[in-house]
Chains A and B, each alone.
Chain A
Amino acid sequence: MSAISARRKRAIALLSLTSIILVTLDLQGSGSASVLRGTFGVFFRPIEGVTRVITRPVSNAWHGITHYNAVTKENDLLREKIAQQEGAAVAAAASVRLSQELLALNGLPTLAGINSVSAQVIGDSPSNYSQSVEINQGSDSGIKVGMPVMNAAGLVGKITKVFPRRSIVMLITDPEYALSVKVINNPEAASPIGDPEASASTSSTTTTTTTIPKPQATSNIPGFTPGTTTMPLTTVNVTVSIPSLTPTLTVPANGALPVRETGILEGRGSSRVPIVRFIDSAQRFGTILPGAPIVTSGGSLSLAPPDIVVGTVSKVTDRLGTAGPILEINLVADLTNLSFVRILLYQPITEQVKP
């Protein structure tokens, strides 16, 4: 009996040591962890597939019971939103096209110039302490670790693990996620110079009072008085209209143009919204108001190209000193309901392997 117990204790010690070694290897980025996961996946995926098929009716019944009212309400809301946005979408598409043409004309990079792969979300992370999803495209489609993942609304996350036919996407809300972003501050109510309405009101009406003295000289010619005008000797009110010299061209004031400031976006788990830190509290940037859009900043070291929409500022928490404010973000992408995503096959210059 004691021999069996000693053998079990040895087994516990061996398994614990193996686990510790595996943790160390995985944290060091060793390929053996990926090999082990891949091998396990080969055996486990069929079991998972069968289980999914068998348990789908139960899942559907559960969702039917728990989400029926929410889905009905959401459908009504979405129908109304679609009706509102149909018109706006046409105008927006035209603007985007124009913007892309302008950027291309000036040789600037655009998202339209980056190839992408569409993928379907096939699973969530089976843990309460991880914010990731699994997609059905992998290295066979050209996907690499670090590539940005978007859906129709905006940025969703980045690729963290790649297998030949599937990949793991870390969502923006994961505490491990960090990305350089730009906050485009809406201009505050600036007083425009040369506003046509304002310039109209600057036309002045000047009333000049001129007193013409009574002439002293006399003449013998009847009806003629030398040195005088023909004006009667009275006090005259002269009204002169001086037009304003203010130009009619509207020039925005210093703070009226959108100002961009970079910061770092950090996820904080599923229950809390992401935040943006390290925003410069420079006076030039002005007061950040809720609703200011947040987009990726891009750059040679960033894993995402510039100008992918991330979200809008929902709350601003000011801090003392030079720490700068902390911005809470409303993400544009609904991470709780991901079905299809697009992976931008983008790699920053620093990551590209030279031939």
Chain B
Amino acid sequence: MSIRFIRFISSRWTRLVLVASVVLGLQTTLFNDLRPFGVMAQVMVLFAACAGVIYGAEIGAVAGLIVGLMYDCVLTTPLGLASLVLGATALVAGAFPYFVRESSWWNKAIAVAVASAFGEILFPVAQALVGLGGWVQWRVIGVALIVALLNLFLAPLLMPVVRWTLKESLVG
């Protein structure tokens, strides 16, 4: 029983929930206040995209769905919507390792930025699909570009955190 409990506590998914709580705290406080060009940097989208780029589509998608579900709890959109969007974002980001075999930090950052832009466009589209229309506007393109640019600079900072968080074992 205790071994199972220790295994559960030390698993990457438990670590993900704890680290994502702190990232979500940053999203709702610091990044909510700092809005360069009137657009909020989406660190939750960034987290999901980083997970996809570093660990591939499968782990990325699971991480995206979990992180998205946590994000959902602080949003006013229907519960589960951000989960699906971040899951899809991580899945798209997870295609990156298939295209680039030996990637450097900067082309991973570019892949994260592209996936972030995709996720940012997907969000209003998903809202429209469930009947919350009105957000699919031309402004979305501008928002996605700014989010991609911001995440391009933030990705090198968050990638080591994501790599550590989703590491299978902390030992070795």
Binding site for B on A (CB under 8 A): 5, 8-9, 11-12, 15-16, 18-23, 25-27, 33, 36-37, 40-41, 43-44, 47-48, 50-52, 55, 58-59, 62-63, 123-130, 132, 160-161, 168, 170, 174-176, 267-272
Contact A176 B87 (CB under 8 A): no
- CB A335 to nearest CB in B, in angstroms, measures 13
Contact B76 A160 (CB under 8 A): yes
Contact A126 B84 (CB under 8 A): no
**Contact residue among B59, B77, B134 (Cβ-Cβ distance under 8 Å from A127):** B77
Query: B28 to chain A: which residues have CB within 8 Å?
Result: 48, 51, 123, 126
Please name the residue on chain B nearest to A22 by beta carbon: B80
Contact B33 A59 (CB under 8 A): yes
From known contacts A51-B26, A269-B137, infer whether A130 and B77 are also in contact, taking CB-CB under 8 Å. Answer: yes
**Contact residue among A43, A52, A175 (Cβ-Cβ distance under 8 Å from B29):** A52
What CA separation (Å) do A11 and B58 show in the bound complex?
9
* Count of interface residues, chain B, beta-carbon cutoff 8 Å: 54
Please name the residue on chain B nearest to A131 by beta carbon: B76
Contact A129 B73 (CB under 8 A): no
- CB B158 to nearest CB in A, in angstroms, measures 15
Is the CB of B24 closer than 8 A to any CB of chain A?
Answer: yes
Is the CB of B123 closer than 8 A to any CB of chain A?
Answer: yes
Contact B87 A19 (CB under 8 A): yes
Stretch from B106-114, B125-133, B159-167 that touches the partner: B125-133
7 smallest beta-carbon distances between A and B, as pairs? A175-B134, A22-B80, A51-B25, A19-B80, A40-B73, A15-B65, A55-B30
**Contact residue among B65, B77, B132, B133 (Cβ-Cβ distance under 8 Å from A16):** B65
A selection of 11 A-B contacts at a CB cut-off of 8 Å is A18-B80, A22-B69, A23-B80, A37-B79, A40-B74, A48-B24, A48-B28, A55-B29, A58-B30, A128-B123, A270-B38
Contact B34 A59 (CB under 8 A): yes
**Contact residue among A44, A129, A272 (Cβ-Cβ distance under 8 Å from B127):** A129
What CA separation (Å) do A25 and B75 show in the bound complex?
16
What CA separation (Å) do A13 and B103 show in the bound complex?
29
- CB B17 to nearest CB in A, in angstroms, measures 10
Task: Give the dominant DSSP class at A's interface.
Answer: helix
Contact A27 B130 (CB under 8 A): yes
Contact A19 B137 (CB under 8 A): no
- CB B66 to nearest CB in A, in angstroms, measures 7
Please name the residue on chain B nearest to A272 by beta carbon: B137
Query: A174 to chain B: which residues have CB within 8 Å?
Result: 134
Contact A128 B42 (CB under 8 A): yes
Query: B26 to chain A: which residues have CB within 8 Å?
Result: 51, 55
**Contact residue among A5, A26, A41, A48 (Cβ-Cβ distance under 8 Å from B79):** A26
Query: B40 to chain A: which residues have CB within 8 Å?
Result: 126-128
Please name the residue on chain A nearest to B69 by beta carbon: A19
From known contacts A41-B73, A271-B139, infer whether A36 and B21 are also in contact, taking CB-CB under 8 Å. Answer: no
Query: A62 to chain B: which residues have CB within 8 Å?
Result: 33-34
Query: B143 to chain A: which residues have CB within 8 Å?
Result: 128
Contact B62 A129 (CB under 8 A): no
Please name the residue on chain B nearest to A60 by beta carbon: B33
Contact A130 B76 (CB under 8 A): yes
Most buried by B among A18, A23, A33, A126: A126
Is the CB of B27 closer than 8 A to any CB of chain A?
Answer: yes
What CA separation (Å) do A123 and B31 show in the bound complex?
12
Contact B30 A15 (CB under 8 A): no
**Contact residue among A16, A36, A52, A269 (Cβ-Cβ distance under 8 Å from B87):** A16
What CA separation (Å) do A176 and B76 show in the bound complex?
11
